Amino acid sequence: AERLLPPQQSQRINRVSSASIVPSGVVSPPPRSAQILAAMAPLGDGAAAASPNLVVSFGEMLIDFVPDVAGLSLAESGGFVKAPGGAPANVACAVSKLGGSSAFLGKFGDDEFGHMLVNILKQNGVNSEGCLFDQHARTALAFVTLKKNGEREFMFYRNPSADMLLTEAELNVDLIRRAKIFHYGSISLIAEPCRSAHMAAMRAAKSAGILCSYDPNVRLPLWPSEEAARTGILSIWKEADFIKVSDDEVAFLTQGDANDEKNVLSLWFDGLKLLIVTDGDKGCRYFTKDFKGSVPGYKVNTIDTTGAGDAFVGSLLVNVAKDDSIFHNEEKLREALKFSNACGAICTTQKGAIPALPTVAAAQELVAKGN
């Protein structure tokens, strides 16, 4: 690995081609008064929230409908498997499944899907005291097309969905302030009032000295335009302590080849502790102010890549929450990234995200086998 002092972040952004996606507009909801119901806290919520290593994930949770046969369009698919999804929720479940302490903060429709999702969080050991139900909006849905190689395309139904309607006044700020790490994506930045809630939650975390973790998780069909997506994603870039992006997201945000290190380093800024770029089964690259390098991935029988990045992030956050000296110790970081690569790889071997999240034992076994 090399020593590195990255340059300041560049704001260069440009157009990049992406996989075929089905556009879906986003509308800001009109003002209205809605009865909000707090989710009942399950047994164990208090213990999770009291942990000194608590990871709080903020954002969306939804239902993914995954085709039972890969390689077909949505119209051609004969059936779909219902699976819980949403990147921040996936991360929360990954943290818990890997032995960490996690909580989720977001809003659900007061419908069967919404209650099902909160119950899934509870079943996976995730603290749900930050979850709310909205009687006037539905839980978001996504139909996912699986290509033969397990890569995905999305069609969303959420205009607006309950997760978009979380307000600043509804935030469980106490839960945020009890966290060691506050994790979020960019989908919650798309429309008001959730954008303002996101910004307020981030301010609360930073004012309390909590580490901020950002995985943009770009979903272009949800944004009004590509330019709006770039602007929105970069608008909070410099608030994070740790950022994970995929190689495709680097290309989208910077203009050009993600393999060109200059493009990656244009995303660096003073104050950032760790920048990770993932590249599927090729592994990941890491950048800190003192060192940089890469860690190879693992070859597995890929069925569905949904949630792989979230499994990667969740596993890394477990290690960071336990010992944040990982940002300054390259040996510790590389060991953690080997484990994270294994977690991401295992998650691709089943359909769905949360059902496919790995156990510690499974990830350790893959690491032991090597690349």
Predicted confidence (pLDDT) per residue in 240-263, tens digit: 999 999 999 999 999 899 999 999
Give the DSSP letter string of 191-257. STTHHHHHHHHHHHHHHTT-EEEE-----GGGSS-HHHHHHHHHHTGGG-SEEEEEHHHHHHHHSS-
Alpha-carbon distances, residue 170 vs 18, 174, 180, 300, 361 (angstroms):
36, 11, 21, 42, 38
Q: Indicate if the pLDDT at residue 183 is higher than 50.
A: yes
Domain limits at 100? 54-60+86-136+166-369
Cα-based torsion angle of the residue sequence 323, 297, 217, 202 in order, rounded to the nearest 10 degrees? 10
Give the DSSP letter string of 156-181. EE-TT-GGGG--GGG--HHHHHT-SE
One-letter amino acid of 177 = R
Whether 76 is in a domain gets the answer no
Beta bridge partners of 242: 213, 274
Whether 320 is in a domain gets the answer yes
Both structure tokens of 234: 């970069």
> What is the phi-psi region of residue 65: left when phi exceeds 0, alpha when psi lies from -120 to 50, beta otherwise?
beta
Residue 156 half-sphere exposure toward CB, CA atoms < 13 A: 23
Whether 152 is in a domain gets the answer no
Whether 360 is in a domain gets the answer yes
Q: Read off the pLDDT of each residue in 62-67 and give the average, rounded to a whole number.
A: 88
| Contact predicate 190/222, CB 8 Å | yes
Whether 272 is in a domain gets the answer yes
Compute the radius of gyration of the chain from its Cα atoms. 19
SS3 readout for 181-192: EEEECCHHHCCC
Between 16 and 225, whose confidence is greater? Answer: 225
Report the domain count for the chain.
Answer: 1
Tell me whether strands 36-38 and 127-134 are parallel, antiparallel or unpaired. Answer: antiparallel
Whether 352 is in a domain gets the answer yes
For residue 109, the model assigns a pLDDT of 98
Tell me whether strands 242-246 and 292-295 are parallel, antiparallel or unpaired. Answer: unpaired
pLDDT tens for 273-318 read 999 999 999 999 999 999 999 999 999 999 888 899 999 999 999 9
Mean pLDDT of the chain: 87
For residue 203, the model assigns a pLDDT of 98
Alpha-carbon distances, residue 68 vs 129, 145, 351 (angstroms):
34, 10, 9
What whole-number percentage of the chain has pLDDT above 90?
73
Whether 39 is in a domain gets the answer no
Whether 171 is in a domain gets the answer yes
| Contact predicate 272/241, CB 8 Å | yes
* Angle between helical axes of 330-347 and 308-322 (0-180°, round to 10): 150
Q: Outline where the chain has alpha helix (H).
A: 45-50, 87-97, 112-123, 173-177, 194-207, 226-235, 247-254, 261-265, 308-322, 330-347, 360-369
One-letter amino acid of 272 = L
Largest CA distance in the chain: 56
For residue 210, the model assigns a pLDDT of 98
For residue 48, the model assigns a pLDDT of 62
pLDDT tens for 3-38 read 343 333 333 232 222 232 223 333 334 333 333 444
Output the domain CATH number for residue 349: 3.40.1190.20
Both structure tokens of 106: 């977001």
| Cα 119 from Cα 129, distance rounded (Å) | 12
Both structure tokens of 288: 């800190």
Q: What is the pTM of this model?
A: 0.87
Around Cβ 258, how many Cβ atoms within 10 Å? 21
